[in-house]
Chain A
Amino acid sequence: VDSSGLGALIGGLKTARQADGDLRIAAPTEQVATVLGLTNLDRVLRPFATVEDAVRGW
């Protein structure tokens, strides 16, 4: 994922939150997980190992 992709994810997260929803990342590849960490976006787009983990407690 590049910075444009991250921007699109942030846009989606904002839209989801405005509708009282959320956007969560499940099963990211190593590159995606590393990039989320590099950019500190794992603070707002916390990655989960599986879809089941991501939707738990939704």
Chain B
Amino acid sequence: MPCVVGEPPTEYRVTAPAEPDGLVHLHELIDRARRDWPDVSGADFDMLETAVIELCGNVARHGRPAGATDVTLSVSVRDSALEATLIDAGRPLEIDVDSAELPPDMDEVGRGIAMARLAVDELDYEHDNGHNIWHVLRRRR
């Protein structure tokens, strides 16, 4: 009888508290996808993870009330790209992703959104039906 090896999943999802300790669950999810897909560049996963953690960190730091909402991360592994969607039920964010710029080099804060934008190819934010929704896409190199 032939040994059939299943294809790894292409969709991953986890829900975790939107607080610093919850970030570990998002790291674990992306690590699992990284292990399942060894042919995908580690750098692509690194940059998707960098963006996702910045966005979730932003929710954890600035969401109100802090830690009172969950964040759901979905990751899709496509032939051409890695995609992530991050959803939380926090208050709407007053943010203009496209105008987020890096602060002066010696500033200690204010890099998060600009860094997320630089790490990936597409980054979009919307507030819909009481939820903050981030779409992240990193084209595979």
Contacts and interface: CB of A to CB of B under 8 A. Distances in A.
Contact of A35 (B42, B57, B115): B115
Interface residues of A, number: 20
Interface in B82-126: 102, 105-109, 111-112, 114-115, 118-119
A19 interface: no
Interface in B22-67: 42-43, 46-47, 49-50, 53-54, 57
A3 B118 CA distance: 12
Contacts of A43: 105
A48 to B, nearest CB: 18
12 contacts: A2-B54, A2-B57, A3-B109, A6-B115, A7-B109, A10-B105, A14-B106, A31-B46, A34-B46, A35-B115, A39-B114, A44-B106
7 smallest beta-carbon distances between A and B, as pairs: A7-B108, A3-B111, A31-B46, A3-B112, A38-B118, A10-B108, A44-B105
